[in-house]
C-alpha cells in the first residue's frame, strides 16, 4: 500500500477548532484534527497530515484517527496523535506509543513563594544542587546501581518500589496515573540490552526536550479547580518532564524488528513501514504490551526518584525540612502509551486499545480513575510549553471522552527541526537572552539549549486555546518558569 499523497487530502473545516480529513483511498475512517485557523494553516502542507491518514488505514481502528493541535511529524504516527483499536480485530503498534515509552510530566506543588527562595545566591545554589543531584544529558548515568532483583521490582511494582526504598512518600502514589504502577508487566519480554541500559539510568532526566523547571503560578483561571489541586497565585511549583530513558528506547527498538515481520506474517498491508504492528491478541502483540508496561513502570519510578531528589535539594540548600517546603505531587501523567480503556462507540460501551503518542489522557469530572480529591473537577492535564514562556495546568472535560477517547494535547509541539533550531541559534547568546527574560538555565551543553530555544516551538497558549475551544479540557492555571535544568 502506498502512503496517501498530501495532494489527495482535502481538509474540511467542521467548526472553529476542528478539521475533518475525509476518508479516501485505503483509509478505514476519517481523520480529525483539533486546531484553530492559524495552527491549521501552519500544518496544512505538513507530512504529519499524511501520517494521520496513514493511521486511519490500520485494521480494527474505531472512531477517527485524531491529531491534537500540537501535532508534528513523528515515527509512523504523528506526535500529537490518538487512535483507538478494537480489542478483538485491532492492532497494537509501537509507532503509536513512541520510543520514549511513558514519557510524561509530573507537577509538584510547594508551600513556598518566590521570596522564600531568596537571596539570589541561594537560588543559584538550589539550581546547581538540582543539576548535580539529577543527572541530565545524553548518556548520563545514575548514581544508583540496580541489581536484577531491583529491576524486576521496578518493572512490576513501579513507583511503589521507589517508595519502599526510601524515595518519596506513600501519599505520592495516590496522585500518579495508574497509582504509579500499570498492571500487565512481563519482564520476560524485555531484552538483556534493555535491562542493561535500565540498570544505569534510574533517576536521570536525559536530554532533548526533557527538563526540570522551577515555576511560579502567575494566573488562575478556574479558582475551584485550582483549590482542589492545591494551586494558588504566586506559589512555586516544580515540573519534571522525562520518561523511560534508554530502557524504553531499547524496548521500542527491539519491538520494531519483531513487528515488521509480524505485519507481513498477518497480511497487514502498510502505507508506511514505520506503522508496523500486530494484532492485539497475537503473541507478538501480547509480547510488546508486556514489555511496554515494563517501560511505563520504569518511567513512573524514574520520575518518583527525581521527585525525591528535588525534595533533598531544597532541604540541603536551605537547611530546612519537609514542613518548610511542603513539596507534594499534584499529578503525574504520561503522554506516550497504549492503554486498554472502555469508551462509548456508536452508542455502546466497548473495550479498545487507545494509542496516545504525544497526547495526554483527560478524564472528565466523576471518572472513577481520577483521584478522589480531584474527582469533582476532572483529571489534571499537564501541558508544558517552551522554557522561555509558560506552561498550563488543565482539567479534563466530558467532551474529551465523547469524541477523543478522553484525550488532550501534551505540549507546545515543534515548529523547527533540531537541526534548523541549531542553525537559527548561531551567533546568539541564548542563555543570556533567557536570563533577560528572568529564566535561569543550567544545562550540560549549549547544543541542547539551541535545539530547545523558545522559537523552536509553537506558542503553547495557542495550543491550549484550541483544546479549550473544542471542549476537551479547560484551563486551571498558568505556570511561568524562572529556572530550568536541561541535558
Count CA atoms within 13 Å of residue 202 on its CB side.
28
In a domain, 24, yes or no: no
Query: Taking the CB of residue 235, how many other CB atoms lie within 10 A of it?
Result: 21
Residue 58's SS3 state is coil
C-alpha cell read off for 383: 501541558
In a domain, 43, yes or no: no
Which residues have a Cβ under 8 Å from the Cβ of 309 and sit 6 or more positions away? 130, 133, 134, 203
C-alpha cell read off for 256: 520494531
Kindly tell me if the per-residue pLDDT of 192 is higher than 80: yes
pLDDT of residue 487: 72
Which residues have a Cβ under 8 Å from the Cβ of 392 and sit 6 or more positions away? 383, 385, 460, 461, 464, 475, 476, 477, 478, 479
In a domain, 237, yes or no: yes
Percent of the chain as helix, strand, coil, to the nearest 5:
40, 25, 35
Separation of alpha carbons 56 and 358, rounded Å: 17
Q: Which of 308, 343, 355, 410 is catalytic?
A: 410
Kindly tell me if the per-residue pLDDT of 64 is higher than 60: yes
In a domain, 87, yes or no: no
289-314 pLDDT per residue, tens: 999 999 999 999 999 999 999 999 99
The CA distances from residue 207 to 191, 258, 304, 306, 425, in Å, are 23, 27, 18, 15, 18
Q: What b/e sequence results for 425-434 when a residue is b if at least 16 CB atoms lie within 10 Å of its CB, and e otherwise?
A: beeeebeebb
Q: In sequence order, what E strands does 316-367 have?
A: 328-334, 336-345, 348-357, 359-361
Active site residue 325: no
Number of domains comprising the chain: 1
In a domain, 57, yes or no: no
pLDDT of residue 427: 84
| CATH code, domain with 244 | 3.90.1860.10
Parent domain of 142: 104-254+277-339+360-486
Average pLDDT over residues 199-226: 95
Separation of alpha carbons 284 and 254, rounded Å: 12
In a domain, 389, yes or no: yes
C-alpha closest to that of 49 among 70, 86, 78: 78
Average pLDDT over residues 221-244: 98
Kindly tell me if the per-residue pLDDT of 142 is higher than 80: no
In a domain, 267, yes or no: no
In a domain, 147, yes or no: yes
98 falls in which pLDDT band (50, 70, 90)? Answer: very high
Gap between the terminal Cα atoms of the chain: 40
C-alpha closest to that of 408 among 16, 147, 70, 58: 70
Separation of alpha carbons 122 and 367, rounded Å: 43
320-343 pLDDT per residue, tens: 999 999 999 999 999 999 999 999
Amino acid at each position: 500500500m502506498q502512503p496517501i499523497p498530501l495532494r489527495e487530502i482535502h481538509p474540511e473545516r467542521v467548526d472553529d477548532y476542528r478539521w475533518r480529513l475525509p476518508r479516501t483511498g485505503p483509509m478505514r475512517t476519517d481523520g480529525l484534527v483539533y486546531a484553530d485557523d492559524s495552527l491549521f494553516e501552519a500544518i496544512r502542507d505538513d507530512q504529519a497530515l499524511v501520517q494521520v491518514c496513514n493511521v486511519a488505514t490500520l485494521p480494527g481502528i474505531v472512531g477517527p484517527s485524531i491529531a491534537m493541535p500540537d501535532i508534528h511529524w513523528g515515527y509512523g504516527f504523528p506526535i500529537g496523535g490518538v487512535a483507538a483499536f478494537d480489542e478483538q480485530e485491532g492492532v497494537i503498534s509501537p509507532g503509536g506509543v513512541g520510543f520514549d515509552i511513558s514519557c510524561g510530566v509530573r507537577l509538584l506543588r510547594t508551600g513556598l513563594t518566590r521570596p522564600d527562595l531568596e537571596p539570589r545566591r541561594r537560588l543559584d545554589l538550589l539550581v546547581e544542587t538540582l543539576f548535580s543531584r539529577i543527572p541530565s544529558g545524553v548518556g548520563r548515568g545514575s548514581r544508583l546501581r540496580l541489581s536484577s532483583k531491583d529491576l524486576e521490582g521496578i518493572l512490576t511494582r513501579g513507583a511503589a518500589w521507589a517508595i519502599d526504598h526510601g524515595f518519596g512518600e506513600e501519599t505520592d502514589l495516590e496522585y500518579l496515573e495508574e497509582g504509579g504502577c500499570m498492571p500487565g508487566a512481563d519482564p520476560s519480554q524485555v531484552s538483556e540490552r534493555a535491562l542493561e541500559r535500565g540498570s544505569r539510568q534510574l533517576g536521570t532526566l536525559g536530554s532533548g526536550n526533557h527538563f526540570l523547571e522551577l515555576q511560579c503560578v502567575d494566573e488562575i483561571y478556574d479558582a475551584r479547580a485550582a483549590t482542589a489541586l492545591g494551586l494558588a497565585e504566586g506559589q512555586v511549583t516544580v515540573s519534571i518532564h522525562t520518561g523511560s530513558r534508554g530502557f524504553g528506547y531499547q524496548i521500542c527498538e527491539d519491538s520494531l524488528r519483531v513487528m515488521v515481520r509480524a505485519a507481513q506474517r498477518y497480511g497487514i498491508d502498510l502505507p508506511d513501514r514505520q506503522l508496523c504492528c500486530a494484532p492485539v491478541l497475537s503473541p507478538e502483540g501480547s509480547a510488546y504490551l508486556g514489555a511496554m508496561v515494563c517501560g511505563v513502570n520504569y518511567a513512573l519510578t524514574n520520575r518518583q526518584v527525581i521527585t525525591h531528589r528535588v525534595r533533598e535539594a531544597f532541604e540541603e540548600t536551605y537547611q530546612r525540612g519537609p514542613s518548610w517546603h511542603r513539596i507534594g505531587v499534584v499529578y503525574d501523567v504520561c503522554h506516550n502509551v497504549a492503554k486498554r480503556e472502555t469508551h462509548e462507540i456508536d452508542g455502546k460501551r466497548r473495550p479498545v486499545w487507545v494509542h496516545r503518542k504525544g497526547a495526554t489522557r483527560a478524564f472528565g469530572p466523576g471518572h472513577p480513575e481520577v483521584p478522589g480529591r480531584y474527582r469533582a473537577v476532572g483529571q489534571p492535564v499537564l501541558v508544558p510549553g517552551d522554557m522561555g514562556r509558560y506552561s498550563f495546568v488543565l482539567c479534563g472535560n466530558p467532551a474529551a471522552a465523547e469524541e477523543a477517547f478522553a484525550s488532550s494535547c501534551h505540549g507546545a509541539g515543534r515548529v523547527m527541526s533540531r537541526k534548523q533550531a541549531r542553525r537559527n541559534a548561531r551567533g546568539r547568546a541564548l542563555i543570556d537572552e533567557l536570563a533577560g527574560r528572568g529564566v535561569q538555565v543550567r544545562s550540560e551543553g549549549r547544543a541542547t539549549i539551541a535545539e530547545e530555544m523558545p522559537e523552536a516551538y509553537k506558542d503553547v497558549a495557542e495550543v491550549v486555546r484550541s483544546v479549550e475551544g473544542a471542549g476537551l479540557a479547560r484551563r486551571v492555571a498558568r505556570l511561568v518558569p524562572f529556572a530550568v535544568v536541561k541535558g
